[in-house]
Amino acid sequence: MIEVKVRKVGNSFGVVLPKEVLARLNTGEGQPLYLTETPEGGYRLTPFDPSFQEKMTKAEDIIRRYPNTLRALAK
């Protein structure tokens, strides 16, 4: 477990993440992070956009269902 503290940054609040956490998340300064709610009532911090995963799942379904049409359109 890694403890972080909430700090005042201008008119907002922020959390400073240690280098080890940034390395594990494979992210750095200026990169987006996403905070999602878990079913248990907590939060999960991730560098991946959850809505992007939903879009990719739909795209993969379309690719699987219509390969010939997509191949023809790609010409």
Would you say the pTM of this structure is higher than 0.75? no
3-state secondary structure the chain: CCCCCEEEECCEEEECCCHHHHHHHCCCCCCCCEEEECCCCCEEEECCCHHHHHHHHHHHHHHHHCHHHHHHHHC
Q: What pLDDT does residue 60 have?
A: 92
pLDDT tens for the chain, residues 1 to 75: 889 999 999 999 999 999 999 999 999 889 999 998 999 999 989 888 777 878 888 999 999 999 999 999 998
**Domain range list for the chain:** 6-74
